[in-house]
Chain A
């Protein structure tokens, strides 16, 4: 059986003023349906670039990316992306923001509102449907971003450091909520982070990237039972291994 998401020999080179910059080289990644995979690496290692390419927002320079059995030539309807800076439309209230992806698909208004309300209740936001993004806290905005991504029933959720800008406490809450959503919706999650603890807490499998050019350095399977507790021996052991794989500069946190 072929993987749900598959990257074969993917490389990305940007043209910059100083000349060509190689962001990623020779990436081979497979991700099965229902898996929770973290892409871990320091800033500048190309992990976000890879996610954007899997989301169909950028094209690889070399290699190919296959999602749901089709080689990508643009965003796939089977995936949804969540951004670090949430990407909410400031002029739309929460409900309209969440319903936007369905509006883009031409879903009738009554249907998309119903689906949006369902996702708002899943993410605990029902009371805030008529609020505007600037009236919400950072954590709530990111919940809205997740709710919006879920409306289209994606088979894979692509998350680009979604909790990177949040305080530790809010981040912890959202990580737990995300795991609940993941286990209930049974979607695949591809999650970019630079935090070792976050990766160990969330993932089934962690792909470690090293920079210049971005390459896949290691692959770590996390077989600890959930909920995982940072600081316990098993957790610490995996975290230490990851720290070493990331290289001399070490991971944050």
Chain B
């Protein structure tokens, strides 16, 4: 059997348990819809689900993208220059300890209701894992490589571009995975409070209108998109860091 798809087994077991719980009428059907009813909801509400999923995904892409283009250069510089590290260390430790969700009330006060507060919150949640992992990646560089650059009298810009950046790349990808994961968690939460579209909003709305099958469908879509996002970053990392093969134990 192909081991690649082994990961589906626990999910199938969960599905079977769900069906068993429905058959045993553990909860009233209006609370716990059957898998079939949820599958039907996917068909019935397909346009709604697609539109809201699209809105959520777009917000995450914009928020994480903005975080990426700020955190990666900043992290490369902080990792490279001890002085910058000493200046920023405390601030980073303070701000990264604040859960982005705690900032929702502030974000709504400053940016109202809509895309802006959601994107700001995603940005904040994606910034720290990207920044910290980039710094970590730069720190982990082999000392000899920097000596090679120094003895070749390479310019700072060449060192940053040809040595520091590629050396940190595997770690940057780890940061990106965490950032997308964190951004995805944040977007759903933010949409339940600060936005009137997206999967989070859709789920909350379904609750208020008592369509539990749509709540379940929404939750499933959130999970699947999370999985796809993670897989595509892994694949991207494998391609970009092919030189790493044989150097480290594969992270799969």
Shortest CB distance B233–A (Å): 19
Q: Are A104 and B155 in contact (CB under 8 A)?
A: yes
Residues from chain A with a CB closer than 8 A to the CB of B245 are: 134
**Most chain A Cβ neighbours within 10 Å, of B148, B149, B150:** B148
Mask of A206-228 contacts with B, CB within 8 angstroms, 1/0: 00000000000000000000000
Beta-carbon contact of A104 and B144 below 8 Å: no
Asked whether A105 lies within 8 Å of B243 as measured between CB atoms, the reply is: no
Residues of A within 8 A of B167 (CB): 91
- Cβ–Cβ < 8 Å partners of A90 in chain B: 243-244, 247
CB distance from A57 to the nearest CB of B (A): 6
Contact in complex: B151, A105 (CB < 8 Å): no
Given contacts A57-B147, A83-B148, A104-B158, contact A89 B153 (CB under 8 A): no
Chain B nearest CB from A23 CB (Å) reads: 17
- Neighbouring A residues of B153 by C-beta, 8 Å: 74-75, 77, 104-105
Judged by a CB distance under 8 angstroms, whether A142 is at the interface is no
For chains A and B in complex, what number of residue pairs have CB atoms within 8 angstroms? 67
When distances are taken between beta carbons in the complex, the residues of chain B under 8 Å from A79 are 151
Confirm or deny: A36 has a beta carbon within 8 angstroms of a beta carbon on chain B. no
Asked if B148 contacts A100 (CB within 8 A), the reply is yes
- Chain B residues near A134: list those with CB within 8 A: 243, 245-247
Is residue B24 within 8 Å, beta carbon to beta carbon, of the partner chain?
no
* Count class of interface residues, chain B: 20 to 34
**CB-contacts of B219-252 with A (<8 A):** 241, 243-247
Instruction: Report the nearest B residue to A83, measured CB to CB.
Output: B144
In the complex, B154 has a CB within 8 A of chain A: yes
Pick from A100, A132, A133: contact of B162, CB below 8 A.
A100
Interface of chain A residues 89 through 103 with chain B (CB within 8 A)? 89-92, 100-101, 103
B246-A87 in contact (CB<8A): no
Binding site for B on A (CB under 8 A): 52, 55-57, 74-75, 77, 79-81, 83, 85-87, 89-92, 100-101, 103-105, 132-135, 152
9 contacts between A and B (CB under 8 A): A75-B152, A81-B148, A83-B144, A87-B144, A91-B166, A100-B162, A101-B152, A103-B158, A104-B154
